[in-house]
Chains A and B, each alone.
Chain A
Amino acid sequence: MIWLASALAAPPAGDDEPTGRYMTAAEIHSRVIEQLALFGACYEHSADARARTELGDVYLVWTIRSDGRVSGARIHESKSGLPDLDACLVDAARTLRFPAHHEPEIEVGYPLVWLDATLQPFPMVYVHERPLDLLFFYLPEDPAIVDILKPKAGGEK
């Protein structure tokens, strides 16, 4: 599993995308921010959450299908201590909508940060990228092969 952070510094979608149907991490982030109120509503409607100005982060993951709808939403890690809030956030993630795109699916991770009684926009999303470890060869991503070919830590041969 390779999760790569995409900072806001990533190039904006559109200008250099003639195929126009691949979503960049920056575009996914932008769409999440636009729909952040869906998650904010969970905090507003949870009495326990509303009563506190600060809560532990809730790291959500979901899959964006090629039609732009979300599936597989779940909690990857929660430090909220509020199961009802976590369940509401998962339900909210399921209602997120994204543009249709070419990839069969895109796995996304996003941390929700409740601070100063406000849901703070996190500056990036985490997109699960395909490993692409065995370029140039018609070979499967066989871990037994990839592990041998990968550079060893500390220059170990």
Chain B
Amino acid sequence: MGLMLLACVPKTVLPGSGPEKLYEVSVQADFDTSGEGVDVSDYAEQQVFLRGRLLKAETREFRDGSEGHMLRFESFEQAPTAEGPWLRSELSGLSIELRVFPTGEILRVGDAAHIAGAPRHGEVFDILLPALSPMVPAVKPGKESWRRASWPFEVGYQRGWRNEVIALYANQGFEDSALGRTAHLEYAGQLSGKGSDSRMEAEVEVTGEVSGAVWMRTSDAVLLRHELDWTRTVSATYSGDVTLTQVQHFVASARLVEEP
């Protein structure tokens, strides 16, 4: 028990001193919503486009080997169509902390409540977190390997969810780029998850499918690019047998554009 507690203590606090990486991000999201016992016909079909830059910086190290990474939403804009009009996203200027293992495994999302809920919807766009911190297996060119990755998103006591992706990664070979030699992997798999909202007495179930491609730099395993196409169906049951279901479809990309 003592060792477990010790592992939670930050070893070093390095505010803003770690290497920073700037990713350019774009998302096209489609939301199909239906309800039983509640009328959501005004929001049956919604589409939103999101673009901006995510600054990722190491902030601290923990004794268990995990690291704190600040993730800052910079100049985020959103629009109802690909052509605009682009308006400042409420996510813009906000930050969270990802506590991750060097493998990419996300242990905790700090300050999540600040980006959650309307009109920020950070818990919906949480797919950007594993997008920037993918758990990619070591696999040789022409070979395949399974990998499971999960990530939490909690805004309070029993208020949050955990999504999980189990995907088969296939190494498509090595490629040279301006930012270094990369391993190109494509993946496809299943998404699932569970959550709850104690305030609303809601239970949440998630199912879905994922596919995408990642380009990882071979020298230091840094993500250079991620293209994804993920669909998840979110079903929540509230008191009185009221249910809400939303199919969330994301087509997104993240690309490293700047590093020291």
Contact = CB atoms under 8 A, between A and B. Distances in A.
Nearest to A155: B239
Given A19-B97, A102-B114, A138-B29, A133 B38 contact: no
A148 B114 contact: no
Given A19-B72, A22-B114, A145-B40, 16 more contacts: A19-B70, A19-B110, A102-B95, A130-B113, A132-B199, A134-B118, A136-B123, A138-B124, A139-B43, A139-B246, A141-B118, A149-B202, A151-B200, A151-B239, A157-B239, A157-B241
B94 interface: yes
B44 to A, nearest CB: 11
User: In terms of DSSP, what is the predominant structure of the interface of chain A?
Assistant: loop
Interface in B72-99: 72, 93-97
B240 A157 contact: yes
Contacts of B42: 142
A20 interface: yes
Contact of B15 (A18, A135, A144, A149): A18
Nearest to A16: B110
Given A18-B70, A18-B110, A135 B201 contact: no
Instruction: Give 7 closest A-B pairs by Cβ, nearest first.
Output: A132-B117, A18-B59, A19-B95, A138-B31, A151-B201, A157-B240, A148-B38
Nearest to A157: B240
Contacts of B241: 157
Contact of B234 (A103, A131, A137): A137
Interface in A93-114: 102-104
Contact of B111 (A19, A134, A142): A19
Interface in A1-32: 16-22
B173 interface: no
A144 B46 CA distance: 18
A139 B117 CA distance: 9
Interface of A: 16-22, 66, 102-104, 130-142, 144-145, 148-152, 157
Given A18-B59, A133-B200, A149 B123 contact: no
Most A CB contacts (10 A, CB to CB) among B15, B29, B201, B244 go to: B244
A150 B200 CA distance: 5
B92 to A, nearest CB: 10
B68 A149 contact: no
Contacts of B236: 136-137
Contacts of B15: 18, 20
B33 A18 contact: no
Contacts of A139: 33, 40, 43, 118, 246
Nearest to A139: B43
B204 interface: yes
Nearest to B96: A19
Nearest to A129: B113
A148 B59 CA distance: 42
Contact of B244 (A18, A137, A151): A137
Contacts of A149: 38, 200, 202, 238, 242, 244
A137 B243 CA distance: 12
Q: By CB atoms of chain A within 10 A, which of B60, B116, B121 has the most? A: B121
> Which of A134, A141, A142, A149 is the most central at the interface, judged by chain B CB atoms within 10 Å of its CB?
A149
